Amino acid sequence: MSEREQQSEAAAMVAALHVPRNAKFGFGVATLVTAAIVALFVLPGTGRPMFLYVALAFVLLVSLGSLLTAVFTAISAVRLARS
């Protein structure tokens, strides 16, 4: 199997599972959750430097976005397998 065929199979799998759509939706939800957490817990009053909270928010955004993308893609895979 050539490298080009492997790439086309991977691209077909990504398209079938709607990974780009799932990533947009997952990171969109993660952005909203992160913004809400920062607004509720960080902005009312912080005793530590703000850059620490910005770094923590970035880690939360990336990890939650990745987790949600994986969950949404798994749901897409189950739906695809059942159809």
Tell me how far apart the alpha carbons of residues 14 and 75 are, in angstroms, rounded to a whole number. Answer: 13
pTM > 0.85: no
Structural contact between residues 22 and 76, judged by C-beta atoms closer than 8 angstroms: yes
pLDDT at 67: 97
> Which has more confidence, 8 or 78?
78
Q: Residue 3's pLDDT band (boundaries 50, 70, 90)? A: low
Instruction: Say if residue 5's pLDDT is above 90.
Output: no
Which tens digits make up the pLDDT trace of 11-60? 887 888 888 999 999 999 999 999 999 888 887 777 778 888 899 999 99
